[in-house]
Amino acid sequence: MDNIYNIYNSIGKPVDNELYERTDNYVKCLICERKCILKTNVRSVCGNYENINGRLHHIGYGKLSHVEVRPIEIKPLYHYYPGSLALTYSNYGCNFYCPWCQNDHISFSKIPVQSPYLSPQDLVRLALARNVHGLSASFNEPLTQFQYVIDATIEAKKYGLYSMVVTNMYFTTSSLKKAIESGIDGFSADIKGCPSMSKALVGIDHEVVFRNAKYVLDRGGHVEIVYLVVTNTNDYRECYEWIINKHIDYLGYDTPLHINRYYPAHRWREPPTPVEKLIEIHRYASEMGLKYVYIGNIFNEIYESTKCPKCGKILIYRSRYRVLEFRLTYSCGKYRCPFCGEHILIYGLCHI
């Protein structure tokens, strides 16, 4: 362990060959769509990958900032292993640096020079000791520790644990393919805004989120889209119509949409999202035909709970990200409404 600790603290772990390209003294990182081109001894935008002698290394491998148990509903994932608990872990840095980030203390932090090393095997052993149902890479962007997340997922699958990520979904196709092949099957995917945004994140191609979400769905994985509605930033009609229409075009009507309230954080001082605005967007999404639309961060059970899209009865009653009642019936591998028999989208088994 000591030798591994010293190696990983000095040069990190080499990244798999298919996740970067090498040309002369440069390497191009292919983990996220920023595709940083790095000279020797230069690090990526997220601060976690470095060109060392013409090879990409994950400098932050195993240097975790937080490890704690959290309910899956807080991710938020409402249709993925309902009621389960996930050992949630994070590292340092980000590839987006949203100015309203609520976890800026780790997303905007550099990797500490001296940091305890936790191997993927030790992470899984901790998960088993805590009697959780899976792993969740969260708090900051999992793409910043992609190699570690892959290794932890492979180890977790040996013990029947699921693995999911809370992500800005800015994967390249090659990294997303590798994530799915490793066993990651749950994605809480943040959509930050739309092409007409002018105040923040203007260099981001927001359609990549939907492209990648469709890629996951087409390969049998589970996705829920999370739209943080930031006041005077991505809350105007043209923007939310673009988001919801892209959601329908790429993902159809069954993929859940979470419309979440923003609160001032980090450098952003716009007031909290008016509840009326959230309800307006919720109404539009529902009228457009989305079956599962939620409002988060307002702690209102009406907007947290799952209703049958056919008969309208409450099937999963939630309060503050906890499942209090689960009324679905299960037969032939599917969950159904007990009142009308409608098939209800649920990925994985319920743990109530």
Angstrom distance (rounded) from CA 116 to CA 139: 18
Cα-Cα-Cα-Cα torsion 253, 327, 133, 76, nearest 10 degrees, comes to 40
User: For 191-214, b where at least 16 C-beta lie within 10 A, e where not — what string?
Assistant: bbbbeebeebbeebebebbbbbbb
Is 239 annotated as ligand-binding?
Answer: no
Helix axes 120-129, 146-157, angle to 10 degrees: 50
101 is in an annotated binding site: yes
**How far apart, in whole angstroms, are the C-alpha atoms of residue 65 and residue 89?**
7
Distance CA 258, CA 273 (A): 14
Please answer whether residues 282 and 303 qualify as being in contact, where contact means their C-beta atoms are separated by less than 8 angstroms.
yes
Annotated binding site for [4Fe-4S] cluster: 94, 98, 101
Residues annotated within the binding site are 94, 98, 101
